[in-house]
Structure 1
Amino acid sequence: MVVHNPNNWHWIDKNCLPWSKDYFQANIKDTTFENEQYKFIITEVDSVTGDCDVTQRKGKVLCIYDMRLEFSVSSSDKKKTDASAILGTITLPEFVHDEEEDEYVFEIKSSGDHVSEIRKSLVPVLRSKLMRFQQDLLDAHAKDVQHASDQ
């Protein structure tokens, strides 16, 4: 990307929403929690909507995102002999660049009585993966919004 931007002073941004969708498919899909009683798997990334940009202004690179994420969850009760998949969803209505890890709200819907178990076991695994997103986003796109200072 060729940019005429002396000293990286002017505002430049790059839409990274398409990259984000691919990122979640590669890094969130198939996230699993398993113990002696349950097995929960994120089987699909159903929706990634909103805004996701990597931005440069006055020589500083940062990312700004505000997305809604929806995931499908498959679960099974391993203690039952007829353990059939019970489908549910995890929705993160606001996945935002400036919130702390413990501020995120996960909405969980399940066709069974697994909401509390999903929240207790699968959500922490999901949260830890989501917390890597911001740095991975910057690592992947920072070079696209800045040029070398000797140009």
Structure 2
Amino acid sequence: MAKWGEGDPRWIVEERADATNVNNWHWTERDATNWSSDKLKELLLGVRVEGGEGVCEVTEVDKLEGEASINNRKGKLIFFYEWNIKATWTGTSKTGIKYKGNVEIPNLSDENDMDDLDISASLSKDEPDTPLLALMRKEGVQAVRSALGGYLGHLKTVSQLDSEKD
């Protein structure tokens, strides 16, 4: 324990005339919710899978609730995000019949690994059963998981670039 007046100069903020947070030593927080919302929509709307049964793609992000922030403590970046996402997918079978369904991701957060995400794909009400649902549940869910992993990569890249500018 340091004696009074012999502490680390980075900690002495109130005695500085400008009260500067030297080298972001103290906790700083930036809201990344709007950027994240746009990026998640962009990534999810790019999800498309093809198989012997036909083609499926995410066509609309119906619900995107949550928040994201980038924190800096002693020069270390810490990411907090929590999202509840619902999207609509449409599929076209090889015979040309169109189907609609939903994708739900209730737990995209910094507390869960990408492999632990609950991603469910289902058909909309009144839709007849189709092999496209199996395509969405297998390959579509993996494509969505990959897109969400891309979000985390982009979040870290953007925050690195921003912190280098500061």
Could you say whether these structures have the same fold, taking a TM-score greater than 0.5 normalized by the shorter chain as the test?
Answer: yes
Between the aligned partners of 2:44 and 2:165, the Cα distance in structure 1 is: 32
Distance 1:60 1:37, change over 3 A: same
Is 1:10 equivalent to 2:26 in the alignment? yes
Match of 2:100 among 65, 70, 87: 87
Is 1:48 equivalent to 2:61 in the alignment? no
Contact in 2 for aligned 1:54/1:145 (Cα 8 Å)? no
Hey, what does 2:158 align to over in structure 1? Answer: 140
Between the aligned partners of 1:27 and 1:99, the Cα distance in structure 2 is: 19
Q: Percent identity?
A: 24
Between the aligned partners of 1:143 and 1:5, the Cα distance in structure 2 is: 19
Q: Secondary structure at the match of 1:132?
A: helix
> Gapped runs of 5+ residues in structure 2?
1-18
TM-superposed deviation, 1:48: 1.5
Hey, what does 1:121 align to over in structure 2? Answer: 139
Q: Relative contact order, CA 8 A, sep 6+: which one is greater?
A: 1
Hey, what does 2:91 align to over in structure 1? Answer: 75
TM-superposed deviation, 1:21: 1.6
Between the aligned partners of 2:120 and 2:133, the Cα distance in structure 1 is: 9
Match of 1:104 among 113, 117, 137: 117
TM-superposed deviation, 1:7: 2.7
Question: CA deviation digits over 1:82-138, x for unaligned, max 9?
Answer: x33211110100101232222110122203434433111211111112112112112
Between the aligned partners of 1:70 and 1:24, the Cα distance in structure 2 is: 11
Between the aligned partners of 2:40 and 2:161, the Cα distance in structure 1 is: 21
- Give TM-score scaled by structure 1 length: 0.83
Note the aligned Cα RMSD (angstroms). Answer: 2.1
Distance 1:12 1:88, change over 3 A: same
Q: Which runs of 4+ in 1 moved over 6 A?
A: none
Question: CA deviation digits over 1:45-72, x for unaligned, max 9?
Answer: 2221112111111210121101111111
Contact in 1 for aligned 2:121/2:141 (Cα 8 Å)? no
Greater Rg, structure 1 or structure 2?
2
Between the aligned partners of 2:151 and 2:40, the Cα distance in structure 1 is: 9
Query: Which residue identity lines up with residue 43 of structure 2 in the other structure?
Result: N
Is 1:131 equivalent to 2:149 in the alignment? yes
